[in-house]
Structure 1
Amino acid sequence: MSDQYEYVDEEGNPVDPAELGDDVEFVDEEVDEVVEDTSVAAEPVVPTSEPVSAPTAAAAPTKVPKALLAGVAAVVLLVGGGAAYGLSQLGNQDTVQDAKAAVTEKTEQVKDEARADIDACDGRQVAAASYGKGGDTPKMQLRVTSITALPPGYGKRVEGLGDRAADRVTILQQSTGDLGVYVQEEATKDERTGRKKAGAWWKVSASTDGQGARVLGEEQGTGEDVDAATACETVKGGVYQVVGDQVPDAARGMRDGQVVVDSLKPDGASPEVVWLVMGDQLARSVLEYAPAQESEADDAEETTTATATTEKGR
């Protein structure tokens, strides 16, 4: 048998190559064939004068070349607008289920490779953690790692602001490990002119490190503070996907994960760290990709599996 070929279809059934036509592709492949004893009963031993050889062990698997008339699983992975093409050969994947399992594994691998590195300072990834008007689950999330209470003077000034806090609260980073949290007080009326004057700024100074923030004090701001030249741009508050056991209850929204954030500041010294002000609390958070939602298709990746087969008469 080692010098001959067997012609079989995808199901392993013998076929006559003369009946297949000229448009069939023959794939030469070696497969392991295990020889099994299928005899029903042992035949009687016929006496012979020739020496009888010793019994042999069970037949070991033999390599048998076969011409396989079968298709291959062509896997097209569309990832973020790009395409990756993989070929699954018969012999490596014995069944369609094996091929599909390999496709799934490859899809997850490509998906992980397609994800960009976290860089909160860019701003777009932080924006991807916010809830839009449609309420779709964001692709990014902010995981709170520590939280610090802001002093009473600040708390009094933000009390009752609600949604207006996003327009009145901001954060500045004037140097590495130094944050300023500001709230603009209510506008006042100029008694001499009768016109409204912009409210003054109330400032909370805080030092920061990898563990969190520590409040240094609060005072009337000068209105002249600015970010350091290498600081990241402050992100306006809104409803964001914020997770963690330390998220203040008062900031939680109606749905799990929805949190009202007054202001966000990506840390210029740490690409994954984002500082959050939620009411009278200052939190250190880490920006990360949100877990895949089982009930929703991933917008950035789509997997299409096409199986091409060769059949007689096609």
Structure 2
Amino acid sequence: MNLISKCEGNEVYRMAEPVGEGIMKHTHIEKGIELIYSELESYNPNFQSEKKEIDGIEIMYIVDGRAEFELRNRKFASAEKGDVMIFNSKTGIKKCILGKSGMNCISLIVFTDDTIDFLNKFFDTSDFKTETFFSEIRKRESAVSFPCSDLLEKLFLEMTKFSGEFSKFEIKLAIIHALLLIMKKCSQTDGRETIGKTSSLDSEDYYFSGITGRKVQNVRRIINSNLENDISIEELSKKVNLNRTTLQKVFKEMYGLTINEYRTKSRIQLAKNLLASTELSITEIAGQCGYSNASKFTEVFKKNEGVLPKDWRV
């Protein structure tokens, strides 16, 4: 990689073959915490062997684009815009395939012992311990992915947009807040729900072949391209030639939501975009979002957003 600029802990690199093509901005946050913003056209993970020497994780938020990762143990992981992926230090990436438009992502590189020391000092506590710090994630042999929440997305974006006199403190606070949210989401204690409100990470069925992963990813694309239509799960399984039960199970494991929950979430997001950017009537928006009448759309929207569509628009 070629260094373009360096200033106050920030380093900007232009990637070159064989590493890949794109721009990477690296910021040192604290001992044990590194922040990297990448705009990638291609990426060749040829330094993955070094990760095995370190106890830590990489938390990646996909700002735009998509990526498919083939791991050295023949596991498969994929993510698109709006997803969070977590790789531990044991995960070796053999191949990375980016979408046609490349991928923009924000990554937190977190080294276990140093980060625990930092958090304990910051909060004046001893509650953060090696044995419980992302414990389920750190012992996995594959990556974990889940849809990013609105708050977590805001925190990731703030990490790269703060500027001014106190920006380094604001960035640090955003990172700490994000780490706490993700730790809470990944917690296994007391039988609470885990990643993306899905099944336990202890289940070996959480991981699946690359072929299955690609088929489930395709189902997600079909849903997002047809939000105005109620394509049944049976139809989706036939379109990608995947057993219905396997499709439902793996979809939830990949995205943390059932197929119908994911479709509803995507429809509500589309509705919010239309409410904010057009003057379409509630009935017209309901139709574009796959609801046969405005009453049903209004009911679902209020259940998810806490307000009526007409009040959200104001």
Same fold (TM over 0.5): no
Query: Which structure has greater strand proportion?
Result: 1
Q: Which has the higher contact order (CA 8 A, sep 6+)?
A: 1
Report the TM-score, using the length of structure 2 for normalisation. 0.17
Query: Which structure has greater helix proportion?
Result: 2
Larger radius of gyration: 1
